Amino acid sequence: MNLSFYEAQLALVPELPLLIEQRYQMLKLIKASGPVGRRTLSSMSGYSERETRTMLDLMKEQELVHIAKEGVSTTEKGIEVLFVLHDTMEEKSGRRQLANELAERLGILKVHVVEGDSDDSPLTKKLLGMQAAKQFRSRIKGNEIVAVTGGSSVAAIPSFMQQDELPNVQFIAARGGVGEEVGLQANMIAASFAESCHATYKAFYYPDTLSEEAHAVFQHEPAAKEMLELYSRTDCVIHGVGDATKMAVLRNSSEEEQQILQDQQAKGEAFGFYFNQQGEIVHRIRTVGIQMEQLQDVPLVFTVAGGASKAEALLSYLASAPSQTILITDEGAAQNMLSLM
């Protein structure tokens, strides 16, 4: 009998793979939520408080976590362990295969799938943000113009970029802000990105009550012309995708506009454009921002959205998305998207 070293380990400690999986997931939870209290960690992980305490004590002994009054957080060594184990753990979970199949069928550059469903778990949305931050950092050179949209998925990214120093990067709103909650508006999120990684940002405010005539005039204002010039030089876009019906309600769209979306069978929204199931633009809001044709020439495009309920919206946008798109999503959305294709 010629056992490999790993097979010999399993013969001696058959529970080893399970222990590694449990501690990896716990460390990942701490990275996404820390500093976090033990009780909260126990609730999020599904382990009892006693099991959680045992695991944390072991990880503290190995200098993977730091336990303080404000809660538990990962150490530099803990972050490195997560980084080294990531590819192997993703392969074993089946998420890597899921992501590869989705990327191939969608015809886009890359898909990354995090565990869980954003519809059911706020933690999953944090994991989306953590993965998006990781992918952004790995591909950015450090002198780009980066346009970001509003929305909760994109808003979850900046908190995972606090170790970065990108003084020559400029963040801008991908379009003028309209009806969203203040903390989820593109201008606020661009400012959060800049603050997190010591970069610069430029705000752009578009009055959302302008008539068609006033909109035409506004585009010739110095502030609008400056933003249009920046959009033409944008190197990277980070954006979310919304459900068409929900976005129309969120923006306080008129009954007439909502009826148009219903008649045109709009499924998804991005950048103020509404898409049907085939990826065709069926409606757009009046604003100043990045145009869909410009997106084709942007070298880096990150689409960040999750939740099984977003599957149709994602498919409608991705049907005509640029081939260089990198999708960051979760298992809930990914599995539902494949079932609808």
Residue with tokens 């939740």: 307
Determine if the peptide bond prior to 158 is cis (ω within 30°): no
Highest mean pLDDT: which range of 123-137, 204-218, 272-286, 307-321: 307-321
Whole-number pLDDT of residue 208? 60
DSSP 184: G
On the question of pLDDT at 184 being above 80, the answer is no
Tokens of 210: 């302008």
Closest CA to 275 of 285, 289, 264: 264
Which one is predicted more confidently, 109 or 165?
A: 109
| pLDDT band, residue 222 (cuts 50/70/90) | confident
Question: What is the average per-residue pLDDT within 17-45?
Answer: 85
Q: How many CB atoms lie within 10 A of CB 119?
A: 16
Closest CA to 326 of 48, 99, 149: 99
Domains and their CATH numbers in the chain: 5-84 (1.10.10.10), 94-340 (3.40.50.1360)
The answer to whether 309 touches 119, Cβ cutoff 8 Å, is: yes
pTM equals 0.84
Tokens of 11: 């013969």
Percent of the chain, pLDDT > 70?
95
On the question of pLDDT at 182 being above 70, the answer is no
Whole-number pLDDT of residue 287? 76
Instruction: Give the span between the Cα atoms of 289 and 185, in whole angstroms.
Output: 13
Residues found in the chain: 341
Residue with tokens 């919304």: 242
Residue with tokens 């609008």: 224
